[in-house]
């Protein structure tokens, strides 16, 4: 069956069940009604004064009675420094557990160690927001038994709540925890800031283990995950590589190209009609997307604009803007550097939020629905304003869906910032290799050679033109870039579906076919 973007979606896939085709940004989201599938919590009673402490992660996992075919999850707040997921999988492997569904919130460069476990069939299904490195390559080659499901951050929460993901065991790292499992990422030697992604796992997983390298005396205050969701607590020597988790502060790029694109992006925002008191925004964690914040900050100060909130993906740059009083609050679902952890701990206006509150499409108050402006990056865009953030130039899986489609759907103004070509590869395609964020939710694409406005917003285009911006038809810009770079040869792909891209409402927006030219 074809979805609304013309992609052929199978009606049923062995191991994944029935699939629904994408219909449109808001078409499959039920308003003002409780969805028909809503799973219940799995809290277990315990007698008074019993200990949750285990002497090792192995002991804790044993107590959770692991079984073949189980679903295991971790959060990815430790980013490239995560050591917990690998420890967990290695222990399960030693116990001979097979046919595992992995449903961590995302997979990073720290998880290349999973490759042998996928290749030997120990892990047969993966739900994730992102897959990188060698793991992404082998999945692109079709080595995972069932197609992987790529979901957005908000979509993951919805997947839990509707039973699409049925977590049996969640092993959640914390930088500080007490013997009952009150835990947090906001303090401790391996502090990583917000623990927003872990909330849904803690609440709905059948077995929850808190793992920390820093056991504190009861009670751990403040805490994010609370003890009434935690089954076992373990102290380990290391939860990962602190230097790769969160180090120092985030600096604005010095790349002249990224700065140029960011400057144009900021000007777009300033003439969008949204640049006024009470504005809210979200920017990315680096590159041109974060650099937009630098220009907005200067211009907000110049024009004495007081914003309402920032949200994200928070870097120390955002913290600086909060402390300068440019915004009333910052809502943090993931913290990107050490300075942010400190702010989470000390500033009541720096609010840690769960992914549910952030972006779950099936709740009455997802914050993405309140957002004025979001600035996002792209691996590829196309003439229909669709955006690819998941597959690379050979069609290999190497990125993440993340909050891209969530924020784009909710923001009043979704701005994509990207160069018009990267290393000779054009970024504007006739059709992106993989649609993660549909063009319907994308308003402006900003490149160094011109600004393209979605034809659905002619007033915006007129306003930007009037402001002196170089507004161009995206097809013309594509032609111009193609004449500079030449037209790339078509990607060689197989016929096997190796991954599905799930839109935030659970429908399938695109499929990823296997790549034939990787080794």
Partner 1 sequence: MAKKKRRSMLYIPGNNPAMIQQAGVYGCDAVLLDLEDAVALNQKDAARILVRSMLETVNFYETEVCVRVNNMQTPFGLADLEEIVPMQPDNIRFPKTESVQDVKDFMKEVRRIEKKHGIKDPKMTIHVMIETAKGVANVYDIAACEPRIDAITIGGQDLTADMGIVKTPDGAGIDYARKRIVMAGKANNLDVLDTVFADVNDEEGLKEETEYIKKLGFAGKALINPRQVDPVHEVFNPTENEIRKAYRVYSEFYKNTKAGIGVFAIDGKMIDAPVVQRAITVLEYANIDIKDIEKSLD
Partner 2 sequence: MTPKFKAQAGTFESSDIMVLIEPVAEGSGRQVDISSTVMLQFEEDLKSCINQVLDVMEIENVHLIAKDKGALTPTIKARVETAVKRSLGIQEGTL
CA distance 262 to 268: 10
- Between 206 and 260, name the residue whose CB sits nearer to partner 1: 260
Give the one entry of partner 1, partner 2, none that residue 488 binds, where binding means its C-beta sits below a cut-off of 5 to 8 angstroms depending on kind. partner 2
With CB under 8 A, what is the number of residues at the site for partner 2? 13
CA distance 314 to 336: 6
Q: Judged by CB under 8 A, which of 13, 259, 345, 472 binds partner 1? A: 259
Would you state the structure tokens that stand for residue 367, as one six-digit string? 């914050």
Closest approach, Cβ 302 to partner 1, in A, equals 11
CA distance 403 to 377: 11
Q: Judged by CB under 8 A, which of 34, 486, 495, 519 binds partner 2? A: 486
Q: Does 488 bind partner 2 (CB under 8 A)?
A: yes
Closest approach, Cβ 257 to partner 1, in A, equals 6
Closest approach, Cβ 502 to partner 1, in A, equals 37
Q: Does 109 bind partner 2 (CB under 8 A)?
A: no
Would you state the structure tokens that stand for residue 331, as one six-digit string? 């809502």
- Point out which span in 38-46, 135-143, 286-294, 422-430 binds partner 2 (CB under 8 A): 422-430
- Tokens 């295991």 sit at which residue? 72
Q: Does 236 bind partner 1 (CB under 8 A)?
A: no
Alpha helices for 153-286 (secondary structure H) = 153-161, 198-204, 242-245, 256-270
Picking from 329, 399, 335, the residue whose alpha carbon sits closest to that of residue 367 is: 329
Count of all residues that appear for the chain in the document? 519
Q: Judged by CB under 8 A, which of 425, 463, 472, 493 binds partner 2? A: 425
DSSP letter (8 states) at residue 487: P
Q: Does 484 bind partner 1 (CB under 8 A)?
A: yes
Contacting partner 1 within 201-220 (CB under 8 A): none
Q: Does 486 bind partner 1 (CB under 8 A)?
A: no
Would you state the structure tokens that stand for residue 176, as one six-digit string? 């500080």
User: Dihedral angle at the C-alpha atoms of 124, 128, 132, 137, nearest 10 degrees?
Assistant: 30
- Point out which span in 155-163, 211-219, 251-259, 397-405 binds partner 1 (CB under 8 A): 251-259
- Point out which span in 118-126, 333-341, 468-476, 481-489 binds partner 2 (CB under 8 A): 481-489
CA distance 434 to 99: 28
Q: Does 394 bind partner 2 (CB under 8 A)?
A: yes
3-state secondary structure of 169: strand
Closest approach, Cβ 254 to partner 2, in A, equals 16
Would you state the structure tokens that stand for residue 148, as one six-digit string? 């992987």
Distances (CA, A) of 519 to 135, 138, 139, 143, 328: 12, 9, 12, 12, 51
User: Dihedral angle at the C-alpha atoms of 264, 266, 272, 276, nearest 10 degrees?
Assistant: -160
Give the one entry of partner 2, partner 1, none that residue 277 binds, where binding means its C-beta sits below a cut-off of 5 to 8 angstroms depending on kind. none
Closest approach, Cβ 419 to partner 2, in A, equals 12
Q: Which residues bind partner 1 (CB under 8 A)?
A: 254, 256-257, 259-260, 263, 448-449, 468, 480, 484
Q: Which residues bind partner 2 (CB under 8 A)?
A: 393-394, 423-425, 484-486, 488-489, 491-492, 517
């Amino acid at each position: 069956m074809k979805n609304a973007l013309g992609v052929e979606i199978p009606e049923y896939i062995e191991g994944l069940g029935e699939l629904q085709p994408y219909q449109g940004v808001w078409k499959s989201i039920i308003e003002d009604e409780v969805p028909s599938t809503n799973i219940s919590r799995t809290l277990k009673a315990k007698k008074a004064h019993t200990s949750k402490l285990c002497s090792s992660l192995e002991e804790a996992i044993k107590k959770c009675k692991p079984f073949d075919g189980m679903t295991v999850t971790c959060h990815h707040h430790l980013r490239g420094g995560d050591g917990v997921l690998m420890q967990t999988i290695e222990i399960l492997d030693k116990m001979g557990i097979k046919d595992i569904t992995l449903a961590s919130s995302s997979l990073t460069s720290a998880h290349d160690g999973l490759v042998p476990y996928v290749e030997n069939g120990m892990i047969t299904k993966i739900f994730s927001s992102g897959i990188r490195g060698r793991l992404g390559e082998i999945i692109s080659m079709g080595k995972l038994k069932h197609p992987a499901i790529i979901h957005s951050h908000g979509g993951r929460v919805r997947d839990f709540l509707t039973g699409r993901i049925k977590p049996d065991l969640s092993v959640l790292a914390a930088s500080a925890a007490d013997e009952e499992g009150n835990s947090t990422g906001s303090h401790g030697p391996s502090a990583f800031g917000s623990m927003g992604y872990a909330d849904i796992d803690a609440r709905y997983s059948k077995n929850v283990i808190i793992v920390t390298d820093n056991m504190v005396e009861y009670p751990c205050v403040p805490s994010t995950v609370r003890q009434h969701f935690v089954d076992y607590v373990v102290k380990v020597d290391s939860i990962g590589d602190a230097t790769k988790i969160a180090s120092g502060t985030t600096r604005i790029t010095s790349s002249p190209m990224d700065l140029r694109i960011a400057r144009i992006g900021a000007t777009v925002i300033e003439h969008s009609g949204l640049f006024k008191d009470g504005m809210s925004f979200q920017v990315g964690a680096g590159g041109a997307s974060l650099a937009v914040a630098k220009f907005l900050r200067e211009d907000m100060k110049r024009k004495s604009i007081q914003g309402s909130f920032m949200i994200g993906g928070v870097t120390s740059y955002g913290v600086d803007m909060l402390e300068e009083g440019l915004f009333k609050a910052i809502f943090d679902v993931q913290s990107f550097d050490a300075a942010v952890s400190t702010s989470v701990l000390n500033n009541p206006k720096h609010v840690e939020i769960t992914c549910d509150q952030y972006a779950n499409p099936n709740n009455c108050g997802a914050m993405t629905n309140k957002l004025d402006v979001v600035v996002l990056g792209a691996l590829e865009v196309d003439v229909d304003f669709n955006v690819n953030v998941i597959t690379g130039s050979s069609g290999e899986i190497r990125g993440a869906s993340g909050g891209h489609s969530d924020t784009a759907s909710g923001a009043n103004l979704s701005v994509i910032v990207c160069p018009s070509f990267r290393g000779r590869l054009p970024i504007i395609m006739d059709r992106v290799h993989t649609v993660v964020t549909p063009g319907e939710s994308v308003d402006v694409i900003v490149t160094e050679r011109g600004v393209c406005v979605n034809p659905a917003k002619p007033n915006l285009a007129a306003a930007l033109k009037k402001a002196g911006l170089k507004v161009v038809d995206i097809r013309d810009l594509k032609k111009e870039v193609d004449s500079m770079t030449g037209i790339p040869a078509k990607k060689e792909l197989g016929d096997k579906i190796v991954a599905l891209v799930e839109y935030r409402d659970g429908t399938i927006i695109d499929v990823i076919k296997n790549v034939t030219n990787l080794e």
